[in-house]
Structure 1
Amino acid sequence: MCKTKPARGKGYTAQASCITSVLMNDIEAKVNLDTGAFCTCVGKDYIQTILPGWKNHLLPIEGVQFSSASNYMYSLGILDTNLVFPHPEGSIRMKTEIVAMENCTSHHIILGNDYLNIYGIEINHQKDRYLTIEENKRQKFACSNMPEQISKVSSKKYTYKEEFVSNQLVEAQINPSFSPKMRHELIDVLYT
């Protein structure tokens, strides 16, 4: 497919961002899949809007310098978290380490080449842009230049942890003498 070429001197208007919706700790977040980014990162202002207690969960980071195309980036630490790519045919959960940055101004989590490569994420630039994730190329996840064009993640109370329990732990035999609290704590450990 060949798109209409922008007028001379307007090539920058072709917009090739790839933004999609994910769940981070069961809260909707926007992710920009950035093939030019060295690592996965997030600005402190954006992460504060979706994960208010984030500073309490930072892992230390030392001896690494980061830079964007225009300036140095100051790292605050690493967030060890899961990103869930929701899909009606089965969601995909990715264990990620996201570098929190002091001066990153993006209004998205930037998923860089580190996790694009680890999980085999491919971006298809057809008319209806989408991405696929290595483990199942038939599942297509919508992406767009504009965050408002990405459909909202379902607001139903069903959580992806419940999906994990019903799909992944279906044959698990949890000790019947466990109290409901112990069972819940075990599932939390297995889910993370």
Structure 2
Amino acid sequence: MHITIGTNKGKKLSLYIYQISSQDPLEELLNEFREGQFSTSLPSKQKLNLLKMLRKERPAFAIREEPLGKIKGHDIELYLDVERPYPSMLRRPPYPESLETRKEIEKHINEVLDMDVIRKIEHEEIVEITTPVLITWHNGKSRLCGDFRALNNYTKADRYPIPRIPYALDKLAKAKYITKMDCMKGFHQNGVKPNPMKLLRIICHMGIYEYTRMPFGIKNAPAHFQRMMNTIFQDEILEGWMVVYIYDIIMYSEKWEENVQYIDIVLSRCIHINLKISLKSCNFGQKELLALGHKVSGLSLAIEQNKVA
């Protein structure tokens, strides 16, 4: 059971309470971590040891009461290559919205307000840049995003390299155990420095809002997140058992004990820097899994069929 309580300093304190149960320990832990995916080929003893370790590192995983972390010391900065007064393309009105789109916008705006991803701009604040919002759909689910194309055209590019996928996956060639994790709503776990907050303002029928967390869709978000992850996990990447592709984390090994050790190291680091992992997107100790649009194993690499046009 998880409890979140407030303190007199306005901070939240998370407590995890585990009740004594007559249920089989393995079944109890599998139920607790049922959102994750575990290799069906693992013996019960190995699976139990893994689950005990995951319980120890439970605060690394996102929960409903605390869906996002806020990574320390890596707020994003943005620079424009145009001076004031800004071009009219950077001051856009809301797009026309259908009734269905309005309802989806309202749902998502209230959701990200509750998560402190955005804040509402008050009427007395000076607003120079506004980006209209869009609702996109994927697999029947809607998603709110800003149409940042105009802002991106005037943003100075961050040239930090993103790993080439085939090169990253080649490192898994001899792996017998592969674990993949995904950072929960990755970019939203980065803060925004005060100056670029004024650039990251979205507009819709509900008013004007400002991103206080890094949004999806801006030009330099992938490069910024990749640099941050490479910095945080520099030693692990150099040791040759970890691949990071933006907010995907892959650990691989020839021995099972090593894979569990690597998972423990990564989750412990995530707790330390306040980075939350999506348990639903985790695959533990697999011989074969889907990663970066490919089906990978220690013996083969194939493109995921639904990624092929």
Shared fold per TM-score greater than 0.5: no
Whose strand proportion is higher, 1 or 2?
1
Larger Rg: 2
Q: TM-score, normalised by structure 1?
A: 0.28
TM-score (norm 2): 0.20
Structure with the largest fraction of helix: 2
